Each structure stands twice: as C-alpha cells, then as structure tokens.
Amino acid sequence: MALQALQSSGVAFRKILSHFPEELSLAFAYGSGVYRQAGPSSDQKNAMLDFVFTVDDPVAWHSKNLKKNWNHYSFLKVLGPKFITTIQNNYGAGVYYNTLIMCDGRVKIVAMNENVALRSALDKNLKSAVTAAFLMLPESFSEEDLFIEIAGLSYSGDFRMVVGEDKTKVLNIVKPNIAHFRELYGSILQENPQVVYKIQQGRLEIDKSPEGQFTQLMTLPKTLQQQINCIMDPPGKNRDVEETLLQLAHDPDCGDVVRLGLSAIVRPSSLRQSTKGIFTAGMKKSLLYSSLKLHKMWKGWLRKSS
C-alpha cells in the first residue's frame, strides 16, 4: 500500500505509523518531502510525504485500516477489504494508493521486520539497478552519471514524464543527494569485479567488452531479460534468452535495447497504476493531485526558460 501524507510538522517519523495498523513488514518514506531536491521540489516544508507500507496479509491489514481510517479510502471502501486487495494485486504495479492524507511527521525507512527474504530482495534490487545502469553507460563515467541512470530507471517509459512531471525531475533528485546515493551503492560498486571505482575522483570504469556485457546481461532480472528477448527475437526464430543476450552483448546498441526493455515494462504498468489511482484515490483527490503535479511541472518550465 502507498499513501501520501501532507506534512505539517517536524515530529519524528515513527509518529506517523501510530495512525495505522501495526502489522507492517516494511515502511519507508521517499520523495521531495524526505530528501532535499533541486528545482520546484526544493521546498521540503510544504512537500507531500510519500510512504510505502509492505504487509504480509493485505486483506487483514486493509480490514483493520478500514476500521481505523475509513475516510482515507475512496468509494471502494464500501466493497470491503477483499475487493480492495484484488484491485491492489491484480492491476498496475501491485500497489494500492491512498493520497492527500493528513498526518504529522517526516521519514526514510521507518520500520522493518527481520525478514531474510525481504532483505535479500532489497539487496538484489540495488544490484540489479546498478547492472542495468552499467549497460546504458559508456566505459568511463562519473558517480553523478551513474546515479542519474539509476534514479531514472523507474521513469523510463513512464507517460507521466511527458505530462505531469518536471522534465528535470531525475537530475533534481540526484544532485543534492550524491552522498545518500554513495552510501546506498558504495559497497556494491567496490565489491563488483567488473568495475574500477576511483572514489577520490568520483569516477568509474566498467568492462564494456562483449564478455563483460554478457555477464551483466545474464545478471539482469528475468523479466527484463525476457522483455529484451521479445524485442530482439525475429518472428519465427524462437531463440532462447541466453542466445539473444549473447548476441546483444556484441551489439554496439546494447544499452539502447536495455533501455527499450525497461520502457516496455514501465510504460504499461504506469498507465494501469495511474488509471487505478482514479478509483483508489477517488475522482476529487485524483484531480487535486494531478493539478499539483501539473503546477510543479509548469514551475519547472518557467525556471528553465528564465
């Protein structure tokens, strides 16, 4: 489940969790209300806080949250927790979104149970993001170049980057937060045998040989590998994924194909999730939220033209 809380004070993050049922595997906050951003999102005081709650039993959790926070939900609340969970799991990105909720506080990772599988998945996700970024970068690049690629992964193919988001959003996220990115990805970069990480200079060199790229391609998430296979596999050929990736490793346009694969995954998911948001947030809140996004995009245009 995801929600957006309108920040009203500097109270500790954990205070927000007291408004919700306790059964959370993971709770974290993100966005301009947590990490300082450049551009029109730089005013943290008035920024919305974005939270993600991960739960093991969404039906049970929504059941308790409906009793505790009935007014957070759209008209779908009258259909009950099982229907809400069906909408959450079967459409879009597997997230149920409540928006523009009034709460206190500010946070990053707020709570996390000792769940080995979840911790492993989070670590694997970080490594996969680094690998995908490597494939789209040249042989030598700066830390900032890398972090911009990583931060931009989830926006690749997202239609909201055409309408509704400031076009410099990714750059605005990265520039003020280089130290945070370095803390998050530093150990992964130092331990990767394919990378020469010159920490003092803030630069990196990656193995761009066909052998190096094939190794990177083979460690990508299976969903992305399969999407790349669909893009490259000519009709009637029916090659297996490994054969396709081996061919791509020798292709000078390897990075562009990886980017296309990412876009093909993100685009339909972002469309479905945004459409789902009209029902989960409700029409009134969706219109208000969209107007805030468009206002932020307009401010970005004005800054760029001035």
For the chain, the structural domain boundaries read 2-113, 116-267
> Which amino acid does the sequence have at 277?
G
Helix (H) or strand (E) holding 262: helix 254-281
* 277 DSSP 8-state letter: H
Rg from Cα positions in the chain: 21
Q: Please say if the pLDDT value at position 260 is more than 80.
A: yes
182-195 mean pLDDT: 94
Asked if 155 and 169 touch (Cβ cutoff 8 Å), the reply is yes
Amino acid (one-letter) located at 63: S
pLDDT at 7 over 70: no
For the chain, what percent of residues have pLDDT higher than 90?
A: 42
pLDDT tens readout for residues 133-169: 999 999 999 999 999 999 989 888 665 555 545 557 7
Residue 130 neighbours by CB under 8 Å, 6+ apart:
146, 150, 185, 188, 189, 192
35-77 residue pLDDT tens: 666 665 555 555 667 788 889 999 999 999 999 999 888 888 9
What's the confidence (pLDDT) of residue 128? 96
Q: What is the mean pLDDT of residues 259-265?
A: 92
Q: How confident is the model at residue 258 (pLDDT cuts 50, 70, 90)?
A: very high
